[in-house]
Amino acid sequence: MSHVIELQEDRWLRKGREEGRLEGTKSLLFSLVVDKVIDVADAARRAGESEEDFTKELEEYIKNQK
């Protein structure tokens, strides 16, 4: 029987990569909505979020772009 040990640092790095991919995806979706390529409903669905949550994040994204 073999045991695999995962270091806490490895978990943090993996989580960071996963969160980074998610943030990158959301940034792309935000840009597509702002450029009117897709609508909020479609972007929220693709992000796996409610329209309300996605819209709040989109508003924050737009505010931070200025």
pLDDT score at 11: 73
Binned average pLDDT, 10 residues per bin, the chain of 66 residues: 71 73 86 94 94 95 86
Q: What is the pLDDT of residue 57?
A: 94
- 8 A C-beta contact, residue 47 and residue 54: yes
DSSP label of 52 = H
| Predicted pLDDT at 1 | 63
pLDDT at 5: 74
**pTM (two decimals):** 0.69
pLDDT at 24 (0 to 100): 83
